[in-house]
Amino acid sequence: MRVAMSLLPPPSLPKSRHVSPVIPVTPVTNAASFTFRTTTWQADGFGFDATSGEFFTASPTALVVMQCLAAKMSTAQILDRLTSTFDVPRRTAERDLESFLAELTTLGLQD
């Protein structure tokens, strides 16, 4: 199973940008919302950046990664969380996490 980590804008919003497709996965977050950088994320994957006015949607795995990053967890800790939460081999999670972090960097959401 490939970990589906991606951000997608809602299709009808004018100030959105497409990132990559989302593969449905059952949500795992218990938090009502959390903030990652300037975007506030809801448990359902909806995100709003009040500084730019952009809206996003994120897969459940992307939400887990962003929650971990917001909590300043290490890459190893994030991988532990992904492999314990989702049925995915560590090697696959590592590859997908690296790709997703690069995507966040490209979007200016990660240093």
Tell me the domain boundaries of the chain: 7-106
Fill in the amino acid letter for 62: A
pLDDT of 10-62, one tens digit each? 555 445 444 443 333 334 445 578 787 788 888 888 888 888 888 888 888 99
Query: What are the tens digits of pLDDT across the range 54-111?
Result: 888 888 899 899 889 888 999 999 999 999 999 899 999 999 999 999 988 887 777 6
**How many whole angstroms separate alpha carbon 15 and alpha carbon 44?**
20
> What pLDDT is stored for residue 5 in this prediction?
58
